Structure 1
Amino acid sequence: MNEMPPFSRRLAISDVPPNGTWMNISAGEAERAALARDMALPEVRRLEARFHAKPWGRSGLRVTGEIEAEIVQICGVTLEPFPAQVREEVDVRLVDAADLPKMEEVPGAEHEADLDAPDVLDNGGVDLGALAAEHLALGMDPYPRSPAARGEEAASTEEEAPPVETHRPFAGLGSLLNKRDQS
């Protein structure tokens, strides 16, 4: 059974005119709380997306645009929550599953995945909310550091840095040559 995503805005391919359509979406309070829970974040303060959807190929759809979000992440150093901004570009192509080449039709496909292959339309459309949530997750810092932790790290590395010594592998050669010449 398919579970409903926490942030959902369906767009049917049949609703997209030939020259495309612009859509602005934003997550409501309950949707942001559900996204925060799903992404293990203390808070998603804002999630907005501006998408342009237009027909692509014979029966596909191309969605471009960007998402912007204000979230709260947990610092990996101090374990304190801190606010963070996420801005992520979106460029996704979608086609009907029947239009995707079969794995056995593509030589070598069993060994390599086509990373540039289009995604599959979901019941003749796309969920723009789920697409925005996916790009939010992709745009988040996987190793978040608060500004305070960055400052502490810079100060501690400056204080603890050993004096820089230049490695001179042939430094003793001069004295050996001098000794040889004096003999």
Structure 2
Amino acid sequence: MKPILSNPVRFSDLPQRKPTHVRLVPDEGQLEDLADRLSVDFFRKVRFEIDLTPGPGRDWTLTGKLGATVIQPCRVTTDPVTTRIEESVTRRYTPDLTTPEGEEVEMDDDTLEPLPAILDLGEVLEEALALAIPEFPRSAGAEDLDLTAAPEGAEPLTDDAVKPFAGLAALKAKLEGGE
């Protein structure tokens, strides 16, 4: 899927001895499209300041500051919740990356990625923004949910009752009390 704010960069066209600075600021229409794509009410603003730094060797490092203001509904009351996002973004690109194979693989460095010929900075912005948006925003007035349930006529379980050693603690207290 093509990013809303496409900004392709070819690493071979960048200066090889100094960082390249890029600033992405979506316009109003792009902010609306981003909100639709990321399933939020809207963005007041989004800003992504990026430095692409060459080295060591043929590697490249992307460091950036993502700033955004997002409005989305509270998951309890549906009232609008405004969240300010300030995130640091780091990606390291290397041509020598070998992807481990297997069903479950641990990655030592989650910022390391294969070096593409062309990197779309709009994709990096969207990915970082999607990861930074709160999944379950709550308004200041939202009360804690009461999720207790029990069959008719039965007492719902309490937090203390479901703790594995709650019964043993009560028994120990009885024994120590001489009952």
TM-score normalised according to structure 1 size? 0.72
How far 1:175 moved relative to its partner?
5.2
Q: Secondary structure at the match of 1:147?
A: coil
Q: Which residue of 2 aligns with 1:147?
A: 140
Q: Quick check: 1:46 aligned with 2:50?
A: no
Note closer, same or farther for the CA distance 1:120–1:148 as it changes in structure 2 (3 Å cut). Answer: same
Q: Secondary structure at the match of 1:65?
A: strand
Q: Which runs of 5+ in 1 are unaligned?
A: 104-108, 157-161, 177-183
Q: Which residue of 1 aligns with 2:12?
A: 14
Q: Secondary structure at the match of 2:89?
A: strand
Q: Secondary structure at the match of 1:22?
A: strand
**Would you say how many aligned residue pairs link Structure 1 and Structure 2?**
156
Kindly indicate whether the alpha-carbon contact (under 8 Å) linking 2:3 and 2:126 is maintained by their aligned counterparts in 1: no
TM-score normalised according to structure 2 size? 0.73
Cα distance between partner residues in 1 of 2:31 and 2:24: 13
* AA at the equivalent of 2:28: E
How far 1:16 moved relative to its partner?
2.6
Kindly indicate whether the alpha-carbon contact (under 8 Å) linking 1:65 and 1:91 is maintained by their aligned counterparts in 2: yes
Which has the larger helix fraction?
1
Structure showing greater radius of gyration is: 1
Q: Which runs of 5+ in 2 are unaligned?
A: 147-157, 159-168
Kindly indicate whether the alpha-carbon contact (under 8 Å) linking 2:46 and 2:69 is maintained by their aligned counterparts in 1: yes
How far 1:92 moved relative to its partner?
0.3
Kindly indicate whether the alpha-carbon contact (under 8 Å) linking 2:97 and 2:113 is maintained by their aligned counterparts in 1: no
Q: Secondary structure at the match of 1:137?
A: helix
Q: Secondary structure at the match of 1:51?
A: strand
Q: Which residue of 1 aligns with 2:30?
A: 31
* AA at the equivalent of 1:38: R
Percentage of pairs with the same residue? 25
* AA at the equivalent of 2:3: P
Q: Which moved more, 1:54-63 or 1:167-176?
A: 167-176
Kindly indicate whether the alpha-carbon contact (under 8 Å) linking 1:90 and 1:135 is maintained by their aligned counterparts in 2: yes
